[in-house]
Homo-oligomer: A and B are copies of this chain.
Amino acid sequence: MNKPTDKNLTLSIDIGGTNTAFGIIDAEGNILCRGSHPTTGHNSFNDYIKSMRSTVEASLTEAGIDYDRLAAIGVGAPCLNCDTGVIEGAVNLPWPSPLPLTQSLTETFSLPAVGDNDANAAALGEMCFGAVKGLDNFIMITLGTGVGSAIICDGHLLRGHRGLAGELGHTLIRRGNDARQCNCGRRGCLDAYVSAGGVVNTARELLAESDRPSALRSVETLHAKAIAQAAEAGDELAQEVFRLTGEILGEACADFVAISSPQAFVFFGGVANAFHLFEQTLRSSFNRNLLWVYEGQTEFIKSTLPLADSALLGAAASARVRLGL
């Protein structure tokens, strides 16, 4: 028989368009077992959730973990409203919206379930298990297809009205007609400069404005990873792309400090894998633009959560924090 203190594991679920990954995670962020379940091929959303329970139970049995040790479910999914736990308008999932995800999980698994968006889950993952464990004040910036952010202030994740706090990728770092077009329809958002697409556009601009030699000229489809590889191989133009990325990110962070007086910025996502390529200009640009009262209190850290497991660890952290485990 389990003692009550044994009931402290989280079932983390990461729903993708074709596959659903899951893991059983303990209070220290160890993934005790993991598995997957197809997202497609079920008669209904209900069948998908019900058969997921069977798959999870089989994994638990194989790992020798008692179902009763599960305390909660944390889940991530496309277009998940973290206030209501409902999926709304997810075009990559095989069922029509709205889908009452957390409610269905709770009914099927008899466990409390909460969901969160990527940036929030990543920030809570870092706070519970990662680079800033125990830190009360930091800002997480996710540099991927888009630029997301999550602000942890005084130990709380800011959620705001309708859960829409922390969209710092869509604050303007440049103004006027010369500012770069952003996917959101406006001009000059940070997102347009330091997302994966922003990095590509910086490269395109540098390639267009001179005929400096660069290995990037022979790359068929430019993407951020190829630019990072060229920079690492010594390509000067590619290196300048990341220097400029750090420059503009430093300017932005010098403003963001005035929001919540963070002790650290943590960078996560595809572009953050090239952190070493922009860290130096990020720091110098930040220091040059900083209000004096904030001097000497802020660190810049690359996320230490393994990218492949970050969604599961983030969902587990989110469940732990929100359900007070």
Contacts and interface: CB of A to CB of B under 8 A. Distances in A.
Interface string A172-197: 10110000000011100000000000
Nearest to A153: B158
The quantity of this chain's copies bound in the complex is 2
B164 A294 contact: yes
Contacts of A292: 184-185
A294 B170 CA distance: 11
Contact of A175 (B153, B160, B163, B251): B251
A293 interface: yes
A284 B251 CA distance: 27
Contact of A167 (B163, B184, B258, B263): B258
A261 B184 contact: no
A159 B154 contact: yes
A66 interface: no
Interface residues on A, range: 35 or more
Given A161-B262, A293-B164, A297-B161, A255 B172 contact: yes
Given A154-B160, A174-B175, A175-B174, A167 B291 contact: yes
Given A153-B158, A174-B175, A185-B292, A165 B251 contact: no
A253 to B, nearest CB: 11
A97 interface: no
Given A158-B153, A172-B255, A255-B171, A261 B164 contact: yes
A251 B266 CA distance: 27
B259 A166 contact: yes
Interface of A: 136-137, 151, 153-154, 156, 158-168, 170-172, 174-175, 184-186, 251, 255, 258-263, 289, 291-294, 297
Given A160-B262, A184-B292, 9 more contacts: A151-B259, A153-B153, A153-B158, A153-B160, A154-B158, A168-B259, A171-B259, A175-B251, A184-B291
> Which 8 pairs from chain A and chain B are nearest by CB?
A160-B261, A164-B261, A167-B258, A171-B255, A137-B161, A165-B261, A161-B261, A160-B260
